Amino acid sequence: MGGCCEPSGYDDLFGARFSRHLAKRYRRRGLDRTASRIVEFLAAQGVEGATVLEIGGGVGDLHLELLRRGAARATNLELVDSYEDDAAALATEAGVADRVTRRRLDLVTDPDAVEPHDIVVLHRVVCCYPDHQRLLGAAARHATRLLVFSHPPRNAVSRLLFAAENLGFRIRRIAFRTYLHDPGALTVSAEQGRLRATFRHRGLTWHVVGLTDPVRAAV
Ligand SMILES: C[S@@+](CC[C@H](N)C(=O)[O-])C[C@H]1O[C@@H](n2cnc3c(N)ncnc32)[C@H](O)[C@@H]1O
C-alpha cells in the first residue's frame, strides 16, 4: 500500500470525527440530496425483498433508508473501522440492526469474499479510489439487478478544487488523494458490457448514474 496508484491514507481522513459528523447530520437532516436521489431511483425500480451491497457506506445512512423501504438486508464494505460505533447506533435506532452486516474489506482485492447482491451502491466513493475500472468492475460483477454510483462532475471548477485539496493533503503529509475520474469512463467501467445506464442525475456537486441489468431489471 502507499504507492502512487494504490489506495491509502483512508484512516487519516475518515476517522471518528468524520463519522460523528455524518451521524449527527443524518439524525438532524436525514439523507443528503444526492443520496435521496439514489434511494428514489432504486425505490422506483423496486427494493422490496432485495439484498443491498453498499461499498464505502460510511455510517450506513443510505442503506438504512433502503431497509426502511423494504430491502431484505444490507452488507456494507469499508476500508476503515472508524464508523462502526455510529453505524451500530444508527442501525439500532432504525430497528434494522439484525439486517445489516458490516465488513472491513476491499472488494477489488478480495472479490470472492462477498456474494453477489441484487443492488450495489457507491455514494461519494469512486472519487476516493484510484482505479475506477477495478472498483466499478468488481461492483458490477456483484450487482445482479442494479448498480448505482455518484461521482463529482469534471469541469474547470472541480479540477481546481481537487487540485487544491490534493495539494493540501500533500502539505499536511496525508497520503490520501481524491480522484477526478472521467465520467464517461466511469460509466463504461460500470457497464461491463452487461449493465445499461438508465438513470442520470446531474447535481451541482454530485452526479448520479444508475445502471440496470436489462435481463433482470425486476425482482
Ligand atoms: C467520502 S466517504 C463517503 C461515505 C459515505 N458513502 C457518505 O457518502 O457519507 C468515502 C468512503 O469510501 C470508502 N472507500 C473508498 N474505497 C473503498 C473500497 N474500495 N471499499 C470500501 N470502501 C471504500 C472510504 O473508506 C470512505 O469511508
Nearest atom within ligand 1 for CA of residue 128: 15
Q: Which domains occur in the chain, in start order?
A: 10-212 (3.40.50.150)
Residues whose beta carbon lies within 6 Å of some atom of ligand 1: 10, 14, 22, 55-58, 77-80, 106-108, 123-125, 128-129, 135
pLDDT band at 216 (very low <50, low <70, confident <90, very high): confident
- Distance of CA 210 to CAs 87, 145, 161, Å? 25, 11, 26
**Is the pLDDT assigned to residue 3 strictly greater than 60?**
no
> So what's the pLDDT on residue 218?
53
pLDDT tens profile 44-82: 999 999 999 999 999 999 999 999 999 999 999 999 999
95: cell is: 430497528
Query: What is the percent of the chain where pLDDT is above 90?
Result: 90
> So what's the pLDDT on residue 8?
65
Residue identifier of the C-alpha nearest atom 25 of ligand 1: 79
- Distance of CA 132 to CAs 11, 137, 161, 183, 210, Å? 20, 8, 20, 10, 16
pLDDT tens profile 110-148: 999 999 999 999 999 999 999 999 999 999 999 999 999
- The alpha carbon of 122 is separated from its chain's Cα centroid by a whole number of angstroms, namely 2
pTM for this one? Answer: 0.95
